[in-house]
């Protein structure tokens, strides 16, 4: 089942977890995570298991800007990091990049009861590199914001060619309008999904100019402000949602990109906050403070929403990327702690060869001055993380027997055993501390064998594994679960099975 869910892909490159929300607050139901192959997985927080992987999505290449949910988990949003000619499989030379390559923004529909994801709709975008997104909340609910770089539509060495212009863009998308347009049948089917072209359906997408090479765009808890940070600057820009709406109403535009209006920067910004060099991402506290990671300065800046005053900085070791404050991207941040997710840790750990851990640093933000309290080491290339209050998550530790509807489940050793129909052998196996029943069974060469293993424990932490040597079979069965393995008895001999857990 796991193999089928993974669809033959053996890597993912996960970047951004997104906890499900109700009213803009974590509700403890699901966790969505993206992978660069264009997929989103849903982890059920009832048992911490992946229940669905949707994708690879059509038309999206390089699914970095994902899996951001909207405030009531209506959608998990996705955008292209790498624009390509669409649908996938369309050939066009790199010299046609500016005109024939396209980005897309995808709204993945989420069933409010089951969490089941389905394709939804997409929006055709200019061939920029969409990096990160955040959904509007409260007053800005219904909107989605995306950073993009290489708005020059350059190719080759982007570090040089894509930094020619003064500004890149944050895309502001009225996703409720997009949803309505899709429901009305607008858009063209490309790669099996309805794709809305903003040139043909105006009023859905606008571009907000921002500092060069923006990474994060982060909406404040009350939804009034949108904070966008350009990596190549010393300031972070705070946009005012009301001013954005006014500029849209007044058509206060300075141009367009493929028919998408570009809003006038001066008309929509409230402030340029002098946070320091290389601002990337911003998280929020419960008291009107914002925390911005500074890649170049290798620090976190604490500043006040409204007064735009920078009140404190704490150094990070080294080159911080993302940061995460307790519920710091919701409508009700928790404060107390944040964690800096650093890209380099050299000198802070024992040498373990070329592949090195990076450092996460825990910062106490309960006082006016931030205080570094702990270093922990993590897997390389840390990206985003979220901190949720423990009491919002109440996982089960045992699957109740009455929930097990597996047709091959057996709950008593007297029902366990092997049955044969032609060359098909079905083994119903009971596992319980510390015995597997049957303890052995005989097969004929060439038999097609299915073993259904029921872990009849109803005690926490009593998982049992089933490993079959020389057949490359090993699975774990949780308390109350039944799982099956199948194989062909291709080899003569005696092959032990044992509990691997």
Site for its own copies in 57-76 (CB under 8 A): 61-62
Q: Extract long-range pairs of 287-294: CB within 8 Å, 24+ residues apart.
A: 287/335, 289/365, 290/220, 290/227, 291/323, 291/325, 291/328, 291/338, 291/365, 292/227, 292/229, 292/236, 293/320, 293/321, 293/322, 293/323, 293/340, 294/320
Does 374 interact with its own copies (rule: CB under 8 A)? Answer: no
Nearest to 274 by CA among 226, 315, 307: 307
Instruction: DSSP letter for 391, please.
Output: G
Question: Does 419 participate in binding its own copies (rule CB under 8 A)?
Answer: no
Q: Which two tokens stand for residue 265?
A: 């920067």
Residues 157-216 binding its own copies (CB under 8 A) are: 157-159
Stretch of 144-152, 188-196, 266-274, 430-438 contacting its own copies, by CB under 8 A: 430-438
Q: Which of 287, 397, 412, 415 binds its own copies (CB under 8 A)?
A: 397
Strand order in the sheet with 497-498: 473-477, 464-468, 497-498
- When the beta carbons of 111 and 470 are compared against its own copies, the nearer one is 470
CB 300 within 8 A of CB 340: yes
Least distance between its own copies and beta carbon 497 (Å): 9
Cα–Cα distances in Å, from 366 out to 192, 335, 372? 50, 7, 12
Q: What angle do CA 348, 356, 156 make, to 5 degrees?
A: 120
The one segment of 19-27, 93-101, 138-146, 289-297 that binds its own copies by CB under 8 A:
93-101
Single out the segment in contact with its own copies by CB under 8 A; choices: 30-38, 133-141, 215-223, 270-278.
Answer: 30-38
Convert 195-226 into a string of H (helix), E (strand) and C (coil): EECCCCCCCCEEEEEECCCEEEEEECCCCCEE
- Contact by Cβ (8 Å): 233, 209: no
Regarding 10 and contact with its own copies (CB under 8 A), the answer is yes
Based on the shown chain and the rule CB under 8 A, indicate whether residue 91 belongs to the binding site for its own copies.
Answer: yes
> Distance between the two ends of the chain, CA-based, in angstroms?
20
Binder of its own copies out of 17, 56, 234, 288 (CB under 8 A): 56
Q: Which of 177, 235, 372, 398 binds its own copies (CB under 8 A)?
A: 398
Residues 441-500 that bind its own copies (CB under 8 A): 442, 460-461, 463, 467, 469-470, 472, 474, 476, 478-479, 481, 491-496, 498, 500
State yes or no: cis peptide before 430, omega within 30 of 0.
no
Q: Which is nearer to its own copies, 4 or 249 (CB)?
A: 4
62/214 with CB nearer its own copies: 62
| Residue 131 in contact with its own copies, rule: CB under 8 A | no
Cα of 432 vs its chain's centroid, Å? 37
Footprint of its own copies on 138-157 (CB under 8 A): 155-157
Write out the binding residues for its own copies, residues 340-369 only, by CB under 8 A: 344-346, 350-356
Give the residues across from 269 on adjacent strands: 239
H or E element, residue 173: strand 168-174
442 by Cβ neighbours in 10 Å (0-12 / 13-18 / 19+) ranks as exposed
CB of 41 to its own copies, least distance (A): 15
Is 60 or 294 the residue whose CB approaches its own copies more closely?
60
User: Does residue 434 interact with its own copies by CB under 8 A?
Assistant: yes
CB of residue 389 to its own copies, shortest distance in Å = 11
**Segment contacting its own copies (CB under 8 A): 113-121, 141-149, 259-267, 389-397?**
389-397
- In the bound complex, what is the minimum distance in angstroms from residue 343's beta carbon to its own copies? 9
Q: Site for its own copies (CB under 8 A): how many residues?
A: 79
Residue 288: CB minimum distance to its own copies, A: 30
């Amino acid at each position: 089942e796991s193999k089928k869910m993974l669809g033959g892909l053996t890597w993912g490159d996960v970047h951004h977890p997104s906890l499900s929300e109700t009213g803009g607050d974590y509700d403890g139901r699901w966790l969505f995570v993206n992978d660069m192959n264009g997929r989103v997985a849903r982890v059920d927080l009832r048992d911490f298991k992946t229940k669905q992987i949707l994708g690879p999505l059509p038309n999206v290449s390089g699914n970095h800007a994902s899996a951001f949910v909207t405030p009531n988990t209506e959608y998990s949003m996705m955008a292209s990091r790498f624009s390509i000619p669409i649908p996938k499989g369309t050939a066009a030379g790199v010299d046609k990049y500016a005109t024939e390559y396209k980005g897309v923004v995808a709204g993945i529909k989420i069933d409010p009861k089951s969490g089941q994801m389905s394709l939804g709709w997409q929006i055709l975008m200019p061939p920029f590199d969409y990096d990160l997104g955040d959904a509007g909340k409260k007053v800005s609910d219904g909107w989605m914001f995306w950073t993009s770089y290489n708005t020059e539509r350059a190719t080759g060495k982007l570090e040089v060619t894509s930094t020619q212009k003064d500004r890149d863009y944050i895309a502001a998308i009225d996703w409720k309008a997009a949803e309505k347009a899709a429901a009305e049948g607008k858009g063209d089917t490309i790669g099996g999904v309805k794709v809305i072209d903003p040139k043909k359906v105006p009023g859905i997408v606008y571009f907000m100019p921002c500092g060069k090479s923006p990474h994060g765009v982060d909406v404040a808890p009350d939804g009034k402000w949108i904070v966008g940070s350009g990596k190549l600057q010393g300031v972070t820009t705070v946009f005012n949602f009301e001013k954005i709406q006014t500029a849209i109403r007044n058509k206060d535009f300075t141009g367009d990109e493929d028919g998408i209006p570009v809003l006038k920067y001066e008309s929509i910004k409230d402030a340029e906050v002098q946070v320091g060099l290389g601002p990337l991402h911003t998280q929020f506290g419960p008291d009107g403070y914002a925390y911005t990671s500074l890649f170049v300065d290798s620090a976190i800046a604490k500043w006040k929403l409204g007064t735009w005053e920078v009140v404190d900085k704490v150094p990070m070791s080294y080159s911080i990327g993302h940061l995460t404050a307790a519920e710091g991207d919701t409508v009700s941040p928790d404060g107390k702690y944040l964690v800096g997710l650093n890209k380099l840790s050299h000198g802070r750990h024992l040498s373990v060869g070329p592949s090195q851990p990076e450092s996460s640093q825990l910062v106490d933000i309960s006082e006016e001055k931030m205080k570094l309290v702990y270093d922990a080491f993590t897997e390389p290339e840390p990206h985003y993380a979220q901190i949720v209050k423990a009491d919002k998550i109440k996982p089960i530790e045992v699957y109740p027997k009455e929930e097990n509807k597996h047709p091959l489940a057996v709950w008593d050793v007297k029902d366990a055993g092997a049955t044969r129909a032609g060359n098909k052998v079905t083994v119903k196996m009971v596992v319980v501390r510390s015995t597997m029943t049957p303890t052995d069974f005989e097969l004929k060469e060439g038999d097609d064998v299915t073993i259904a293993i029921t872990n009849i424990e109803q005690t926490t932490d009593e998982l049992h594994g089933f490993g079959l040597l020389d057949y490359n079979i090993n699975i774990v069965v949780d308390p109350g679960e039944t799982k099956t393995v199948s194989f062909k008895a291709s080899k003569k001999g005696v092959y032990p099975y044992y509990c691997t857990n």
